[in-house]
Structure 1
């Protein structure tokens, strides 16, 4: 077991790699100013990963937000065999960069836990949800609205644009005086959609419109695309396992969850996560935790203790399923045990407190 030491200044959640059947669990190391991704990640790391640490090693991703180097998924992209470190002019040799990379053959899957960043789970009175598709972060979350292209009329319908979200996050003016018309304005526009075709079309149309309006007014203008990411589907098998683990967890908790139908929600995510970078390396899945008011990256971000507890139990159940499947796969390949022994997950789950009532 190799535990990497990192400064504990930021909210973080680390990764667990199981020997014999590699399974990545949980980022990240960084956060934004005045609001990251919550200390619940520290709790999950301590109560889940470190209790099972004898089964693998722990690593960490840094700068998922792109705060320092203005590019997202810096740490996870390096692990997923992308040359982001070179692109950002960090000192380092080619050999050194290669040391942090993993080959697809060495990684079985990747699972990430995150707050929902939306109000759906809170409205459903349900603590956890599996994730279906990852795109980019939005200010509102409407998983039931899908962006669709009407092939017959050759355009996007008004309804198909209902889930499109555009955000002006940065706005810099010069000379920035209250009584002076700015001579220069720099701003960002963040365009996010569940459908890549919609997003690309809107980006192109918006850029042309801005350039045309500026040309009409004899204003110099430059449009630069800083980042683009395609929608990333979560692996169906991992999603199904996360659903089962969540149902098992909720049913084992004394109070239970009163919800019509009793099915685990499966959401569409509008947020950017390390899972998007890791999808280049292996199959990915996500588990979302209910948060108050859908608020994230803010000092007002909040989760309930019992929901964090439920997420930890769901992870233990999920890992248990993964270990059983890995053992079965190993046994099928050889008549003789190849050294992979099923961990004592039931004991670990008992130590973690499966019988605890919320």
Structure 2
């Protein structure tokens, strides 16, 4: 393996560092199938071409670069995603793709010859920031999400996923999925466990069950200056109570609850809203705790709505069950790398694929512990350590 890997990582990273970056916040606006993400997808194709790796698509927006026969079976899949949350960090997603290509370089430099095909993937719409459903590409590939439902998803401007994709998504591809023997995703850690462990790389044990729920609160729009307080049917009050209830119920259960998105109609300073829509992101260590949390928030919203004279609709938009990564594969990786094993509360394409094939994740240390924010970080040396770890894992899985 080469000694200049941190420098080569930085050179490759700099090729994409400015794509989709907002000059004011320093964060990234890389929404799925918008211009910045399309530029990153072009970069993916150029990287594959530079290495002589043919690229295929699955009809759902997912890209695959192949080292070995594109039609071969028993292949090992790696990679991640390019898209970001609004004003997100640089490393969440792209690190796994950049690292995958550099891991191929490391294997070739060491003279490794693949026995199994190796495939680098770029999954579409992992964050769900544009069309509202996270891990959209992997859900389509595996058949978890019907193609017709995905096609009709719309962004804030009313553009459908089918229109952005350029046609109806293909949906489940069992013949493609059946060619893969394992999936390994490298990702920046979204927490501080590796900082506390003083380790540059870790292995994931599980992903907490999590989901997204939309709550629509409808009241009566009216004038802020002429409507008596006693006469109001203000949906903002119900919404605000729901946010506080979610925080309390999550803390009581040792779970996580976040309301980070809200839409208000008519959204005027001098008008009582007619409708407020919020989105609840809820996560917990086990399914029972998650269900209890969501049920409690739903019940408290309904009770508060009766007091406020408003109406509440509560809609499940996406739910991902508890994901326990393949014990044999995770144990094998932890032993191979002498790395700590840790759970995560963050969702990933690996969590969707884990229900269909042996799956593992590697984490690279994040010194700030902050993610989904411009403060997300990783040192070049730690990224190089992650690439070496990924290369070692891929060599173990494909070349022996």
Once the two structures are TM-superposed, the CA of residue 171 in structure 1 deviates from its matched residue by 2.0
Return the alpha-carbon distance in structure 2 between the equivalents of residues 211 and 234 of structure 1: 37
Cα distance in 2 between the residues matched to 1:306 and 1:284: 26
Moved more, 191-200 or 74-83: 74-83
Could you say which residue in structure 1 is the equivalent of 2:269? 178
Aligned counterparts of 2:396 and 2:188: Cα–Cα separation in 1: 23
1:86-165 matches, within 5 Å, as 86-89=148-151, 90=162, 92=167, 96-97=170-171, 100-102=173-175, 105-135=178-208, 161-165=252-256
Aligned to 1:291: 366
Aligned to 2:390: 315
TM-fit CA distance, 1:178: 3.4
Would the alpha carbon gap of residues 170 and 93 (structure 1) be closer, same or farther in structure 2, given more than 3 Å must change? Answer: closer
CA shift, 1:56, in A, is 4.0
Task: Give the Cα–Cα distance (whole angstroms) in 1 for the partners of residues 342 and 259 of structure 2.
Answer: 25
2:39 match: 8
Number of the residue aligned with 1:241: 332
> Residue 348 of structure 1 aligns with which residue?
none
The structure with the greater share of residues assigned to strand is: 2
Q: Is 1:25 matched up with 2:87? A: no
Cα distance, 1:187–1:97 mapped onto 2, change above 3 Å: closer
Q: Give the aligned partner of residue 127 of structure 2.
A: 65
Matches of 1:48 and 1:300 in 2, distance apart?
26
Distance change (3 Å), C-alpha of 1:20 and 1:289: same
SS of the residue corresponding to residue 320 of structure 2 reads coil
Q: Deviations over 1:43-101 (max 9, x none)?
A: 3133113565874444421111112221111111222233443212237568x445x54
- RMSD of aligned C-alpha atoms? 3.1
Shift, 1:36, TM fit: 4.6
8 A contact 1:116–1:288 mirrored in 2:
yes
The total of aligned residue pairs comes to 283
Query: What runs of 5+ residues in structure 2 fail to find an aligned partner?
Result: 1-36, 45-62, 109-113, 152-161, 212-248
What's the CA shift for 1:293?
Answer: 1.8
SS for the counterpart of 1:221 is strand
Per-residue CA deviation, residues 168-188 of structure 1 (Å, 9 max, x unaligned), is 111222333334433322111
Gapped regions of structure 1 (runs ≥ 5): 1-5, 139-157, 248-263, 325-341, 343-358
* Cα pair distance change 1:132/1:15, threshold 3 Å: farther
TM superposition shift of 1:245: 3.0
Question: Displacement, 1:290?
Answer: 0.7
- Is 1:218–2:273 an aligned residue pair? no
Structure 1 residue 160 displacement after superposition: 9.5
Query: Would you say the 8 A contact 1:14–1:45 is kept in 2?
Result: no
> How far apart, CA to CA, are the structure 1 residues paired with 2:367 and 2:147?
36
State the TM-score, normalizing by the size of structure 2: 0.63
Task: Provide closer, same or farther for how the CA distance between residues 180 and 7 of structure 1 changes in structure 2, counting only shifts above 3 A.
Answer: closer
- Counterpart check, 1:276 vs 2:329: no
For 1:302, the equivalent position in structure 2 comes to 377
8 Å Cα contact 2:118-2:398 kept in structure 1: no
